[in-house]
Amino acid sequence: MAGTSRFAVGDMVVLKDGFVRTDTARRTCTISAVLPSDGSRGQYRVRFATENFDRRIVESDIDTNQPAFPMPNNETVAIVETGSWLKSSSIRVRK
């Protein structure tokens, strides 16, 4: 199963202890994008309900033994369109 994704956009997963958070409820995040595999492991973009940015994780960061808890306040994650976050027109260069 190397190179294939076990999870899909919208799936809630729990990251392994010590990766980001301490208790299980705070380690729960939602997959916002499935990224290309790095050859042997699936990669994902995830978002925590309490954060306004995504993180990149690999499949081995996910604790498959822990059930995912629902996000607080029934929050949902917006799926971000692919593309660069950098706007070249906003870069200023001093001479």
* Domain layout of the chain by residue ranges: 1-71
CATH node for 1-71: 2.30.30
Closest to 12 in 3D by CA, of 74, 71, 52: 71
pTM as predicted: 0.61
What is the spatial distance between Cα 5 and Cα 3, in angstroms, rounded to a whole number?
7
pLDDT digit string (tens) for the chain, length 95 residues: 445 668 899 999 988 877 555 565 678 899 999 998 877 788 999 999 888 999 999 998 888 887 766 555 544 444 445 556 666 676 777 77
